[in-house]
A and B are shown apart, each in its own frame.
Chain A
Amino acid sequence: MPSLEDAVHDLATDVIRVHDLRMSYGPVEVLKGVDFTVRRGEVIVLLGPNGAGKTTTIEILEGFRMRSGGQVTVLGVDPARGDEAWRARLGVVLQSWRDHGRWKVGELLAHLRAFYTPYRTPFDLDELLAAVGLAEHAGRRLSKLSGGERRRLDVAIGIVGRPELLFLDEPTAGFDPHARRDFHDLLHRLSDLEETTILMTTHDLDEAEKLADRILILDEGGIVADGSPDALARKVARDAQVRWSVDGEHFVHATDDVTAFVRGLFAQHGDAVQDLEIRRATLEDTYMAMVLKEVRR
């Protein structure tokens, strides 16, 4: 039984609480009891195969979709009953859009920004355009933007109201590596400077590993893994792979105590040890192991 003090503390720091969330489309049950919480300032990446219910989960949290069952609070409010003041505290970037083709970049961003002014202080227009790398495109029509530029504008619109909580559904689809790195910098800045809580989905495991404080893997209608990228990797594969060569001959060894093993290696061979390489399990290994385990079951 948690004390009242603990409960109040949780309310203050938990931005999202999901308990036993269920969602059915007709007879098909997509979410079968999802549980997780997100604390203020955390960056959470939601992973899972196509059709696992990632978008459905995010849409329920955004208040865009009614759930079939379970308890959900977002910023202390049930999203099914969220009002406009609540909405003003959220930022939303959904999957690919192709709207407002006739509008100019700066024109649209200024228009949507204005909706937030009664509630909070939105970002400065020029600063934001510069931050997403669209400063020189402010006068460009949306229909003339490339896929990646459009996605960057989506992100700019999503964060223009300086949200406390930002939802991003596959934000970097169609980004080139450079745009991707800029985007990661932007998210780091939001998270560090503005204390924005971020919940995003992606198919890019490398990106997930770079950005996430915590990763949730959604599969078969439930959360099958929840933890930091490191913790998840250790959970699945404790062993690291050690590769080395001695006198041109190559060796591989798997061990759960790399430090002791390598110390032994040097004690035995000294300077003869070459090409030393230690590879810990990556998020990709973890992900594949988790999701495949689900498939086999």
Chain B
Amino acid sequence: MTRYIISRLLQSVVVLLVIVTASFFIMKATPGSPLAKDRQLDEATEQQLMERYHLDKPAFTQYLIYLGNLAQGDLGESIKLKSPVSQIIKESAKYSLIIGTQAMLFALLLGVPLGLIAGLKQNTPTDYAAMGTALVGVSIPNFVLAPIFILIFAAGLGWFDSGGWDSWKDSILPSASLGFYYAAYIARLTRSGMLEVIRQDYIRTARAKGLSEKTVVLRHALRGALLPVVSYLGPAFAAALTGSVVIEKVYNVPGLGSHFVNGAFNRDYFLVLGVIVIYSALLVFLNLAVDLMYTFLDPRVSYDSES
């Protein structure tokens, strides 16, 4: 197990290195410089700034300097916003993380029961209704759903504000509109997982032992049925964080996404790279966590023996 974790961590470092390298040289290959939009700069100041951000050195040297700083946990400084990237990310990632986490919770709390019921009552009107709803859910893009939610719950019923972020209450609509798609997808996964598991021998054995239907479903079947859901959680959470870029725009939330897009437009190298590094690290970590969670849910999966 330890060996597996270590090898996965090493692999993650390679992945991160690939990402940083690719992003760095894509940014460098671009025409335009982060200083280009400041027309007022005189030559001396520009020179000074170039030196400060090492922009006067060859691209490869800049790359090495960046990697060196990164290894020490230094994400550099935003050239446009004139403050440390780590601080910007710390401030804005909060919003993205809250929205993303709540969206996943929403998705699980809605999707799993829905899929469970649909799977248990296969080919009944309940099943069709649940799966019809789920198919609608995976077909409505979140940037359409979000404005519709605003129209209904903010503009129509007046329960929420339509934008901004003053209190926790303002995170409910963004999280729900982001999580709806994943709730629908998880419902579909849970249903097909249930259908597969419920016919298996160990379920028959559990029933034969005389366990109550509730115990059979919740303790035995659900555990197996949730495997596909668990493996979906990692990528889903990552996708939810990307998707929150759009949600942040619709709800006017000052999250990570707007910093990324603006940073890319302004050629704010370190800000863009910082966001990518943090995001990728999160993604890699999530994938690892999901794979490890597998061993707890499915005893057959083991990473100890190399086959």
Chain A partners chain B: no
Interfacial residues, chain A to chain B (CB-CB below 8 A)? none
